[in-house]
Amino acid sequence: MVYLKKLTIQGFKSFGSRRISIEVGKGLVVVTGPNGGGKSNILDAIRFALGELSAHNLRVGRMAELVHDDPSTNWARVSITLDNSDGALPIDSSDVTISRRISRSGESEYYVNGRQVSRNELLTMLSMANLKPSGFNIVPQGSVVEIAEKSGAELRKMLEEVAGISDYEKRKAEAEEQLAIAEKNLAIARASAKEVKARVKQLEKERNQAHRRRLVEEFLNGIRGLRLERSLENLRRELEEVDRRLLSIEEEISDLEAERKELGARKALLEKRLESEKAGLNELESRLSDLDLRRKAAESRASELRVKISTLKERIERIRKEKSYLISLRESLGKRLRELETVREKLKEDEASLGMRLEEAREAERSALEKLKSLERRYHDLRSRVEAERRELREKRLRLESELAGRKARIRELEEKLRRAVDYSSSLLESERRKYLELSRILEKLKLASEKESRIDAALKSSEERLRICEERVRRVEELERGLTSLLERIASTGALEPDQGFDRIPEVLREAGVEGVKGLLRDALDADDRTLGLIESMSGGWLESLVVEDLGTALKLARTFSKLGLKIKIIPLDVASKAGAKPRLRGISFRGRWAEKVLGYLLRDARFSNRLKLPESGKIVFDGVIIHSDLRLETAPPDEKLLRKLISRE
């Protein structure tokens, strides 16, 4: 137990510039002197050296007033030497000297064994021995009455502060707060894991789309052999046909001379068409740029995901550090528990000491009784003495009896205090055990949280592996798309996909090339009279010539391929049209497939056909060859004669 050995004061309050040292030993030390002699200043000096910052507690108006009034004195210094033989203070020395020096400006300097330290370092060191500048190590004037008037709850709180339990309560609160932070970080990690799972689901969806694209890979692998040979054979036959056509053309050269003027007119028409094709090419280039931007956005998303994974790893590392801190805190509480066991043993020793003192008091009682009997004998023997001596003996007897009764009461009081101290020590020890068990449960929770973090880390690694596999599959699909584009370019070189052919052979060519999911041209799947076909062609805005495929992925793949070939064609994905769930509100039409009905309903979902004039509330209405919009815009709807001729000739 730490106790004060020596106090040195210089220039502090009523003490002048001359250095004054006071040697203090173990046990009870009493300082006496007249009023105003500076007795209370000694206690103030001790509190000052321990780091007190309140001028009110040091009984001055401001800290600069602690310096002696002598003008030649510009600073005050107080040093206390503490006995540290039991090692309560974390310093490898049996004596610890703490000094504090203050100037008239109010600035203080702290020293421990001659080494300058900060106030926080000093307070941390003193707290190891349960020493505080404003604690109950020093009880100033007026505090005794204040303590006596405290309630039971306030006294219990004061005893906990004296025993150092309040510090453990604060540390427990800090540990619980850190646990809450750890649980919050764990919740954040779970939320991030959910985001990763959502991303994994998205990647699985993309994997399914890549699975469809894998069909293209199988197609390419299959046609590298037999189908390439068949294509070469077809090209040979077409080359022979071209040779025959060249012979025929040579025979018709004379006839072509007569048609030169007509070709001039057709040349002008073709030049106009070339300008239109250039405009279409610009549009396709713009779409290609948009697709490139989307690819970059996907790459940016992958980078963000990697950053999030890195952030999660950093959070996991912080939680591990917090776990290490709580483990060290548990060890500290275990050490404090052992210290309380030591205190309990000391209380038992004090109990034995009080028993010895009780026996001494009883011995004194017996001695007093014997002395009283002796006085009684002397009283009988000295009866002849004067009455004054008899009164004196009687008073002395009464005084001894009163002293004996007081000692008996004091003994009973000490026995009661000893019993309460033992009970309180037992309850205190039990409370510390409960706190230790609670901390063990907290550490067990942290261990479970760490295991969850490990599982999350494994899931993140698995997600990264899935992401890498998906990226590899996307790369392979892009290579397959390039192969498909090359194949279609070779097919286009035969003239089968020329615009002047009306794209009639496109579905057939795509099926022969092994592309799955191609339904056909929409116009080839409709049966209706001329008037109905004319209405449909007008309301669809030219989409009867569109190519219908199974899904959006196939549509995008073919659109990119046709765009690279310079072909302008409209494509409708059947899965998008099916989600609309619309049916065509038009009679007199039949379909050669359920898919054609879904696609036409999708194209005409906002159109209404009426036999009488009325204003539409939304969408548009077709009445007598005129399209009426909801905002009262009007447009004529003449059918495409060229398309109608094709449909009629097909019939």
Residue 614 reports pLDDT greater than 60: no
Torsion-angle region of 38 (φ positive above 0: left; ψ -120 to 50: alpha; else: beta) = left
pLDDT at residue 110 in the model: 95
547-549: strand order across its sheet: 518-521, 547-549, 571-573
Residue with tokens 């990647």: 203
First and final C-alpha spacing in the chain: 114
Pairwise pLDDT comparison (628 vs 309), residue with the higher score: 309
Q: Which residue has the higher pLDDT, 120 or 335?
A: 120
* Mean pLDDT of the residues in the chain: 74
Which SS3 state, helix, strand or coil, does residue 631 take?
coil
What's the pLDDT band for 647 if we cut at 50, 70, 90? very low
CATH of domain 3-144: 3.40.50.300
Q: Which residue would you say has higher pLDDT here, 274 or 500?
A: 274
pLDDT at 102 over 90: yes
Structure confidence at residue 465 (pLDDT): 78
pLDDT above 50: residue 474: yes
Q: Give pLDDT tens digits for 493-520.
A: 555 555 445 466 677 777 766 677 888 8
CATH class of 517-650: mainly alpha
Q: Are 168 and 333 in contact (CB under 8 A)?
A: yes
pLDDT confidence bin for 651, thresholds 50/70/90? very low
Residue 298 pLDDT greater than 90, yes or no:
no
Q: What is the pLDDT of residues 68-92, one digit of tens each?
A: 888 888 899 999 999 888 888 888 8
Report how far residue 63's alpha carbon sits from residue 70's, in angstroms, rounded to the nearest whole number. Answer: 16
Q: What is the mean pLDDT of residues 291-300?
A: 70
pLDDT greater than 70 at residue 559: yes
What is the C-alpha separation between 573 and 552, in angstroms, rounded? 5
- The pLDDT of 306-325, averaged and rounded, is 71
Residue 101 is predicted with a pLDDT of: 94
Q: Where are the domains of the chain?
A: 3-144, 182-248+269-492, 517-650
Task: Extract the tokens encoding 490.
Answer: 């070779």
pLDDT above 90 as % of the chain:
5
- Whether the full predicted model's pTM is greater than 0.95, yes or no, is no
Confidence bin at 478 (pLDDT 50/70/90): low
Q: Which carries the bigger pLDDT value, residue 64 or residue 356?
A: 64
CA atoms within 13 Å, Cβ hemisphere of 471 = 12
Which position has the higher pLDDT, 347 or 15?
15
Q: Which two tokens stand for residue 108?
A: 């203080």
Q: Which pLDDT belongs to residue 93?
A: 86
What is the residue type of 585? R
More confident residue, 324 or 256: 324
* pLDDT at site 80: 92
Helices and strands (H and E) in the chain: how many: 15, 15
Q: Which residues of 532-558 are buried (b: 16+ CB within 10 A; e: fewer)?
A: bbbbbbbbbeebbbbbbbbbebbbbbb
- How would residue 272 be classed by pLDDT, with cut points 50, 70 and 90? confident
Residue 82: its H or E element: strand 75-83
- pLDDT, mean of residues 386-413: 73
The two beta strands, 75-83 and 95-103, are antiparallel
Neighbour-count burial of 529, counting CB atoms closer than 10 A to its CB (0-12 exposed, 13-18 middle, 19+ buried)? exposed
> Higher model confidence: residue 532 or residue 421?
532
| The pLDDT of residue 241 is above 70 | yes
> Within a 13 Å sphere around the CA of 79, how many CA atoms are in the beta-carbon half?
17
pLDDT at 477 over 60: no
- Which one has a higher pLDDT value, 516 or 161? 516
Sequence-distant (≥ 6) Cβ neighbours of residue 604 within 8 angstroms: 536, 539, 540, 582, 584, 585, 586
Residue 59 above 70 pLDDT? Answer: yes
Query: Is the confidence at residue 644, as pLDDT, over 50?
Result: no
Q: Of the given ranges (53-62, 71-80, 129-138, 499-508), which has the lowest mean pLDDT? A: 499-508
**Which among 253-257, 379-383, 406-410, 601-605 has the top mean pLDDT?**
601-605
Question: Stretch 2-29: mean pLDDT, rounded?
Answer: 86
Residue 108's beta-bridge partner residues? 102
Alpha-carbon distance of 426 to 432, in angstroms, equals 10
pLDDT digits (tens, 9 = 90+) for 198-208: 888 888 888 88
Instruction: Give the tens place of pLDDT for each residue, 24-43.
Output: 877 788 888 888 778 888 88
- Residue, of 136 and 46, whose pLDDT is higher: 46
